[in-house]
Amino acid sequence: MDIRISKESDVPLREQISGQLVFLIATRKLKPGDTLPSVRALARTLKVHHNTVSEAFQYLVKWDLVVRRRGARLIVNEPGRSPAAKPTSDLDDVINELLHTANARGFSQQDVLRRLRERALEQPPDHLLTLSFDPGMCRLFEAELRKSFLCPVLSCSPEELLAHPELATGALVICPPGVLPRVSGTLPKTRSAIPVVYSDATPHLNAVRQLREPSLIVVASVSDAFLEIAKGLLGPVTSGQHSLIEYRVLSDAQVSPPPADIVFCDVIVYELLAKRKSSKKVIPYQMVSAACLNHIRTMMPA
């Protein structure tokens, strides 16, 4: 597990560790089912207090990115599987079985036929629905997907979808790690949601490594989650040599990051700065990877 930290960075160690772990999961460097090292093992490797690692792990647990199985070790959660999910025996779970199995469970043939007719009437998705706990991240997903797809792209929070399951009707749901387990029970069982795989950030980290003089680096975004992950990744490479500042864009009409040698930003901020013909060295980062976009294309009707 490639995690690097700097005790000289302005970014707290807990945020450096949690941000990098989130990124490793979102880029599938840590795959569903992979086991995380123990708190004390990782603390020894990074030479930090075990409470620091424990706090970083708790951040992952909070957002359902990892779950506890047997013993005390954490494993990367599987997209679409809720850690609290329990086997159910409603009609939706048995309609794909033979009629005699359904009858054995107490359902009449009319019940089965009615449900099969409902399934037959389901249409392919005609739009994309992005989910995130962070409204800014919803904006980013919408902006990126609209550049790649002609169909409508909508967004909402997981809480809104849970309160109004009809929002998923006719939609192909796209969401980052940690969200899908919360809403999987509300989605049609015939249409799997797609977990977002983030783009590789190696070029952005290399841009910092190539700096020869002490520099000021700004991370600008409309999303708090984007800033959280970016700080975790950039903290170790900026170390004590460079200064790292986060800039939260609250209004599209007022985008003015501090003077910097490099500005890393999301695609929305990048377009806003391009319109203003900023002289800063601005490097955008696209959240949704090319492979993930191709996967979405395979799920949408031609």
Residue-wise pLDDT tens digits, 91-125: 454 444 446 677 777 878 888 777 765 554 467 88
Average pLDDT (204-229) is: 95
pLDDT digits (tens, 9 = 90+) for 50-91: 999 999 999 999 988 998 765 668 999 886 655 454 444 444
Q: Which residue has the higher pLDDT, 196 or 78?
A: 196
Angle among Cα 285, 291, 294 to the nearest 5 degrees reads 115
The ranges assigned to domains in the chain are: 127-197+291-299
pLDDT of residue 118: 59
Model's pTM, two decimal places?
Answer: 0.76
Report the chain's mean pLDDT, rounded to a whole number: 86
Q: Is the pLDDT of residue 166 over 90?
A: no
Q: Is the pLDDT of residue 15 over 60?
A: yes
Q: Is the pLDDT of residue 267 over 70?
A: yes
pLDDT of residue 134: 95
Tell me the sheet residues that pair with 131.
Answer: 156
pLDDT of residue 93: 44
How far from 152 is each of 139, 142, 171, 184, 216, CA to CA, in Å? 14, 9, 10, 22, 39
Q: How far apart are CA 20 and CA 25, in angstroms?
A: 9
Q: How far apart are CA 213 and CA 262, in angstroms?
A: 12
pLDDT of residue 252: 82
CATH number of 127-197+291-299: 3.40.50
Average pLDDT (262-271) is: 95
pLDDT of residue 274: 86
Asked if 212 and 1 touch (Cβ cutoff 8 Å), the reply is: no
Q: Which residue has the higher pLDDT, 66 or 189?
A: 66
Asked if 74 and 66 touch (Cβ cutoff 8 Å), the reply is: yes
Band of pLDDT at residue 169, cut at 50, 70 and 90: confident
pLDDT of residue 253: 82
pLDDT of residue 300: 87
**In this prediction, what percent of the chain has a pLDDT beyond 90?**
60
Average pLDDT (143-169) is: 93
Q: Is the pLDDT of residue 276 over 50?
A: yes
Band of pLDDT at residue 161, cut at 50, 70 and 90: very high
Residue 207: phi, psi to the nearest 5? -60, -35
Asked if 226 and 137 touch (Cβ cutoff 8 Å), the reply is: yes
Average pLDDT (185-195) is: 81
Asked if 226 and 140 touch (Cβ cutoff 8 Å), the reply is: yes
